[in-house]
Each structure stands twice: as C-alpha cells, then as structure tokens.
Amino acid sequence: MVKQIAIIGGGIIGATTAFYLSDLQGNENVQVTLFDDDTGQATKAASGIISPWLSKRRNKRWYALAKRGAELYPELVKAAQLSDRAYQQSGTIVTRKSHDDLLALYHEAEIKIQHTSAMGNVELLDADEVQRRMPLLTNAPEGIFVSGGARIDGANFVTELLTRAEQNNVQVSHQRVSLTADGSLETHDGPRKFDRVIIATGAWMHETLQPLGLNIKVRPQKGQLIDITINMPNRWKDMPVMMPESMSDIIPFNGGKLVIGATHENDEGFDLTPKAAARKQLFKNAQAFIDNLSESQITDMRVGTRAYTDDFAPFFGVVPMLPNFLIGGGLGSSGLTTGPIIGYFLAQAILGGPLDDWSQYTKPVSRYIV
C-alpha cells in the first residue's frame, strides 16, 4: 500500500527530503506532497559557502553533522543533476587576522585532511597568491586554500532540486497549510490526513506545532546580503570563495556577480524589510578587500529569516509521543551545509532504510520542546 507523505516547508531540508523520497530505494511505496508558500524562506534568500572543516565552532555534534553534509553534496548534485548555477566546487580561502593563528589553523587542517577526504587539498597562501587566485581583490589577506570548498546559491539549489523531485512524481503545492489538533493538515481544499508528516518550517516551526500542543524552542534571526556586479569577465571564471575572519563572506559567482553576507540580526523578528544600515555595513565589509567598489554596483539586497536554537545547534528526529511526525530545523547560519544531510536522514527514516546513529549529530528532539 502506498503511504501518503506530507512535507511542510520547501526550504533546504524540505526540498532535499522531497528529492530523496523520490529517488532512494523504496520511493515507489510513497506519494509525497510538499507544501510551501515561500514567505521569508532563508534558503531562497541565501547564497553561501560549503566548507565547515576549519570552523571555529567546537560543538562536536554540529561538526559531525556539517562534515557529513559537506561530504553528501557531490553525491546529491550528481543524483539530482544540479547545474553549477546551484552548486559549484570552487575551493575556499579561509583567513585569520593573526599570522600565528593562520599557521595554527593550517597545522589543524593538515591533521584533519588525513581522515577527511572531502577537504581535497590544503595550501597555505601568502597575500600575493590569494590576490592571484581572486583578482577582484585589491587588499588581499594571506589565507588557507581548501580545494573541497564550494559555493551554493540557495534559490537555484532549491528550485532545481524540487524540479527533479516533481519529475519523479512529487507534488509541490504553493500554499500555506496548518496542522489541526488531530494531526490533519488544513489546506485550501479542506483538511487532509497523511500517514507521515515532516515539518521543516524553519523559524515558523513554533507556530506550526502549536496546534499539536507543542512549544518548540526556536527563534527567528534576520539575515541580509547584497549582490554586487563587477565587470571583469576575462579573469573571473571559477574563482574561489573567501571566508574572512569576523567579516562577511566574499562569494563570486560566474558571470560577474559578487555576493557579500550575511548579517545576523536577533532583534528583528520576522521583518523582511531591507535595512540601509545593513546594506552599508555589508558594503563596508566588501570594501575592506576590494577598495575600488562603488555603491552603484549593488544590484540587489536579499532578506531571509533563519531559525536558531538556544544552543545554536540544529536538531531533527521523531516528535515525542507523535511517531508519525518528524521534524528538522534550528539550522542557523549553517543551514546550507547541514540542511541536505538532515533531509537525507529524514527520507531514510520514512522509507525504512538503514539509519545512522542520530545521537552523534543531534540532541534529542525533546531537548528543544518546552
């Protein structure tokens, strides 16, 4: 008997779960409907860097999850036939303000690379070499190049992933739905019952789960970024991305688009209004490395709302006392890295495939419910 599966939320977790439910072994036993209205979605407003290996974060579960997420990407990109507009392994340049700190980080990278093949190659670069590899820079810092790093465009990634899922018989419904007390979904066509429900509504998860009598501990965080157009096509193609210490990421995309961001604003709630102060700060961060920029080159400003937990850690699993409901969220600023592997795990659980020990990646879901 074919089981009816609902996914609420079409961001990075929801879209990846939908694709894997249409692609993994056992997909013929499920019919999947994904509901999403796009409002404020962090993924579609985001561009980012997939390169978690030299992060300053010391949360072991987070690192294990992010590491698995980075390892998954090449397989996912191949399986879903995603274009380089969505994802491209460009290499990442990581910086530190202190030369001694950079050397210490390089030695750490040399150790990690011995058992982390997804990192690729690691090189210590002086400022001249960084500038050669990123010729748009006028004030290049020294850095560490990690060849396995990649850039991702959230909107293109999700759009292409859901297109593949729809081709594999997933239904995508562009509407906002709500749960009822008995676990049904209230849709535009009336209430519907599903055998399993996956909730991936990000910062809105608190609102989503309230009808079930659950209080989830997530909070919204506003993220803003800017797009800058630079005309230097002959020297632009396949440029690496840069993660400067305590500054905005520098993310060149083929074609002359440069993305700077993103902000982390905890007191803005669900406000999606672009702010002049954020635009100014992001542009200033870009000018620290590219001093010949003009504000007239800013072509777009995007705004999204991330979900954060009080311990800054993602979570996923079965909802306590409600075995037909699974959730995944609290991704914070690492959502583009950790979201797909969570979607993969959730799809495996639905299809009855072999499961990893999730406790190495996340605390119990009950930890995030009041």
Q: Going by C-beta distance under 8 Å and a sequence separation of 6 or more, which residues neighbour residue 296?
A: none
Q: What whole-number distance in Å separates Cα of residue 62 and Cα of residue 59? A: 5
Instruction: Look at residue 370 in the predicted model and tell me its pLDDT.
Output: 83
Instruction: Look at residue 141 in the predicted model and tell me its pLDDT.
Output: 97
Instruction: Look at residue 234 in the predicted model and tell me its pLDDT.
Output: 65
* 3-class SS of residue 178: strand
Instruction: Look at residue 238 in the predicted model and tell me its pLDDT.
Output: 83
Instruction: Look at residue 239 in the predicted model and tell me its pLDDT.
Output: 93
Crossing angle between the packed helical segments 12-23 and 60-80, to the nearest 10 degrees:
50
Q: What whole-number distance in Å separates Cα of residue 334 and Cα of residue 43? A: 11
Q: What whole-number distance in Å separates Cα of residue 202 and Cα of residue 220? A: 8
Q: What whole-number distance in Å separates Cα of residue 45 and Cα of residue 304? A: 5
CA atoms within 13 A on the CB side of 172: 25
In angstroms, the first-to-last Cα distance of the chain is 36
Burial of 58 (0-12, 13-18, 19+ CB in 10 A): exposed
Instruction: Answer for the pair 218, 365: CB distance below 8 angstroms, yes or no.
Output: no
Query: Which residue in 38, 9, 345, 37 sits closest to 197, CA to CA?
Result: 9
Instruction: Look at residue 222 in the predicted model and tell me its pLDDT.
Output: 95
∠ CA 194-158-363 to the nearest 5 degrees? 65
Phi and psi (nearest 5°) for 321?
70, 0
Q: What whole-number distance in Å separates Cα of residue 141 and Cα of residue 104? A: 16
Token duo for residue 174: 């562009």
Q: Going by C-beta distance under 8 Å and a sequence separation of 6 or more, which residues neighbour residue 103?
A: 124
Q: What whole-number distance in Å separates Cα of residue 305 and Cα of residue 243? A: 21
Instruction: Answer for the pair 10, 34: CB distance below 8 angstroms, yes or no.
Output: yes
Token duo for residue 225: 């970024």
Burial of 25 (0-12, 13-18, 19+ CB in 10 A): exposed
Instruction: Look at residue 233 in the predicted model and tell me its pLDDT.
Output: 67
Domain 3-44+155-218+311-368, CATH among 3.50.50.60, 3.30.565.10, 1.10.275.10, 3.10.110.10 = 3.50.50.60
Instruction: Answer for the pair 47, 156: CB distance below 8 angstroms, yes or no.
Output: no
Instruction: Look at residue 102 in the predicted model and tell me its pLDDT.
Output: 98
Low-confidence ranges of the chain (pLDDT < 50): none
Read off the pLDDT of residues 206-237 as tens digits, 9 standing for 90 and up.
Answer: 999 999 999 999 999 999 999 999 987 666 78
Q: What whole-number distance in Å separates Cα of residue 38 and Cα of residue 41? A: 6
Q: What is the 3-state secondary structure (H, E, C) of 226-277?
A: EEEECCCHHHCCCCCEEECCCCCEEEEECCCEEEEECCCECCCCCCCCCCHH
Q: What whole-number distance in Å separates Cα of residue 103 and Cα of residue 80? A: 38
Instruction: Answer for the pair 78, 131: CB distance below 8 angstroms, yes or no.
Output: no
Q: Going by C-beta distance under 8 Å and a sequence separation of 6 or more, which residues neighbour residue 236?
A: 136, 230, 252, 254, 255, 256
